[in-house]
Amino acid sequence: MAMGKLEGKVAFITGAARGQGRAHALRLAEEGADIIALDLCAQLPEVEYDLSTPDDLAHTVKLVEELGRRIVAGQADVRDEDAVEAVVAEGVASFGRLDIAIANAGLMPITSERAEAMSAWHVAIDVMLTGVLHTIRASVPPMLEAGNGGSIVLTSSTAALRPFSSPQTMTPGLAGYTAAKMGVVALTKFYAAGLAKQGIRVNCIHPTGVNSPMVANEAFFNWVMQHPEMGDALQNALDVPLVECEDIANAAFWLISDEARYVTGIQLPVDAGFNIKV
């Protein structure tokens, strides 16, 4: 059997219980990586749709192990830097190194009256911007200690390239989502520049709508029905309403792989032409 392109490497992934995070874990495990997986596995009041559960995370563990790879999984909140560091430390203690980090954890606090509360702004910023910062800060020290360089991939959004809103949807929740995803671009450039001399590459991906539980749920569907102008704004140029989680995982794998060894500080849209539509 041929060796995978990530044989012997270790990847830390947040939001790994399902959706894009699980797809990342499986794609990298297929290529030989061992996985450190983190997810909250709990509900938040600002989010109308169901978030992940401990059973979801356990299923990710099972699927990775079925691929013949090792995995350390922890329930933790990316808003808690100490908790993130503890999961990384447990994984590094088990596997002896860290080579890859994917800051994927995210949520969409934009539907129903919950989006009107300032707490929706705070949870968006705290999870998808501060949480990304915590992920980077927990990952860089073991990468530097190993001295092998590394690759960090941050999940942004087409909302950072072509923000969508209307007079009826200018809520703290949607504003927080948009601001967080734009902030991820700044973190990408900041850390790519600062870590380049140590051989650690930092890039971000801008997905369009993805067929994951964050989008493929009744709450988001109802929101689009209530705001048809948003449905029009979210259309892609290519004739596909949503891309798949695996499409994002494939893009992240390329950024991580040696084929992209001199690629750092970039924004890679996987957007079915969303950003070029007329």
Return the ∠ at Cα 148 (arms to 269 and 67), rounded to 5°: 65
Q: Which helix (H) or strand (E) holds 179?
A: helix 172-195
Query: Do the beta carbons of residue 64 and residue 91 sit within 8 Å?
Result: no
Give the pair of three-digit tokens for residue 88.
């990384």
Q: Tell which residue, 140, 108, 204, 129, has the closest CA to residue 12.
A: 140
- What CA–CA distance (Å, rounded) separates 269 from 98? 26
List strands edge to edge, sheet with 267-270.
Answer: 71-75, 34-39, 10-14, 100-103, 150-155, 200-207, 267-270
- Written in H, E and C, the secondary structure of 91-145 is HHHHHCCCCEEEECCCCCCCCCHHHHCHHHHHHHHHHHHHHHHHHHHHHHHHHHH
Catalytic residues: 177
| Cα separation values, 168 from 111, 172, 208, 228, Å | 12, 12, 22, 11
Cα dihedral 257, 71, 38, 187, rounded to 10, equals -20
